[in-house]
């Protein structure tokens, strides 16, 4: 993958550094994740940002670590 240098506000980088540490990502990975969430949120304005972020995180999860969806209850017929 090609890389590009960009200027980013120092406060944003510091915020990314703290979030990256909590999320076990690199600072670059955190900034990329935020950019993906922002783009997906703009593409889907009817969805909550937290849902968009969770969806992107689940898509990145290895398939063998995922758990199948099991409904809590079934509708009565």
Digit-coded pLDDT (tens) for 56-76: 888 877 888 777 788 887 665
Q: Please indicate, yes or no, if residue 51 is contained in any of the structural domains.
A: yes
Task: Give the burial string for 2-27 (b: 16+ CB within 10 Å, else e).
Answer: eeeeeeeeeeeeeebeeebeeeeeeb
pLDDT level of residue 1 (50, 70, 90 thresholds): confident
Residues of the chain above pLDDT 70, percent:
95
Q: Is 63 within the bounds of a domain?
A: no
Would 9 be classed as within a structural domain?
no
64 found inside a domain: no
pLDDT band per the 50, 70, 90 thresholds, residue 21:
very high
């Amino acid at each position: 993958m090609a890389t590009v240098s960009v200027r980013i506000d120092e406060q944003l980088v510091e915020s990314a550094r703290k979030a990256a540490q909590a999320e076990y990502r690199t600072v670059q990975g955190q900034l990329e994740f935020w950019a993906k969430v922002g783009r997906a949120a703009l593409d889907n304005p009817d969805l909550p940002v937290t849902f968009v972020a969770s969806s992107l995180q689940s898509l990145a999860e290895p398939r063998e670590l995922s758990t199948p969806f099991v409904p809590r209850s079934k509708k009565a017929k």
